[in-house]
Structure 1
């Protein structure tokens, strides 16, 4: 099995995570509009697969590789997979919280968590700004500062 340690980063086409953010935004808006905890739980599974197995093995990554990527030219550059993979974990946390809210009858929690996830996914889909990726970079910088002091 290949080494997936922080020293050996996997690189991905940055258009893949952005494509996934478009699909995620659509699913989350539908979950928010319908109050469906089941749909949000399904999105949580997608987030979990991306966070645990990697972006290429997630359902949206698979769709990108099979349906979209063959129709595009090569990417200008590749990006480190770790920040968007961390973002998948953040999305997972919000989706689990939201699904738990909807499914337990705490609709306000479902709405709040889903709305936060929609906002983050939309920022990535529309503007290429990944909040979870930025959180990852802040955590890495903070960890480096703690190690120096």
Structure 2
């Protein structure tokens, strides 16, 4: 279980990074974001944005009202990795339109999570679980 404010903070940082990718057309910056997605999908506790949240912000915020399972967050990070990897390949292999489209999708998803708490990858994961008859609670109260 994880504090849902952490992934939302990470989405805010990702939003800024993906805006920078779109403005600069930098495949190397997209690659850096892809690496962050890959690391966080593999081991959420090691993700640099989550580490910043836990170190700098979480101690000042108090306990979260609810916790969410890690599996949907990990899945969402894996989906983000795919889009960032396609953006990286597009920019670095000479197809800036492909890079921009993939980066725009990653930006849209990150922005929705950061601004509204709507994690598209998490929702996709939860929908899959419901369709396969293995529902998973999206959030659990902490008290």
Same fold (TM over 0.5): yes
Per the alignment, residue 138 of structure 2 pairs with none
Distance 2:71 2:116 in 1: 20
* Residue correspondence of structure 1 range 77-88 to structure 2 within 5 A: 77-88=66-77
| Superposed structure 1 runs of 4+ greater than 6 Å apart | none
Out of 12, 21, 42, the position equivalent to 1:22 is 12
User: Do residues 66 (structure 1) and 55 (structure 2) align?
Assistant: yes
2:78 aligned with 1:89: yes
Q: How does 1:1-149 map to 2 (within 5 A)?
A: 11-54=1-44, 56-144=45-133
| Offset at residue 139 of structure 1 (A) | 1.5
Aligned positions, number = 134
Spell out, residue by residue over 1:97-146, the C-alpha distance to the aligned partner (whole angstroms, 9 max, x if none): 0100000000110000000000000000000000000110122122228x
Q: Which runs of 5+ in 2 are unaligned?
A: 135-143
Name structure 1 gaps, 5 residues minimum.
1-10
Distance 2:27 2:12 in 1: 20
Cα distance in 2 for residues equivalent to 1:34 and 1:124: 23
> Structure 1 length normalisation: TM-score?
0.87
- After TM superposition, give the deviation of residue 93 of structure 1 in Å: 0.2
Provide the aligned C-alpha RMSD in A: 1.0
Cα distance in 1 for partners of 2:69, 2:62 equals 19
Question: TM-score w.r.t. structure 2 length?
Answer: 0.91
- Matches of 2:98 and 2:8 in 1, distance apart? 27
- Give the distance between the partners of 1:144 and 1:93, measured in 2 at CA: 26
Residues 24-78 of structure 1: CA distance to partner in whole angstroms, max 9, x if unpaired? 0000000011000000000000000110012x21001110011111111111111
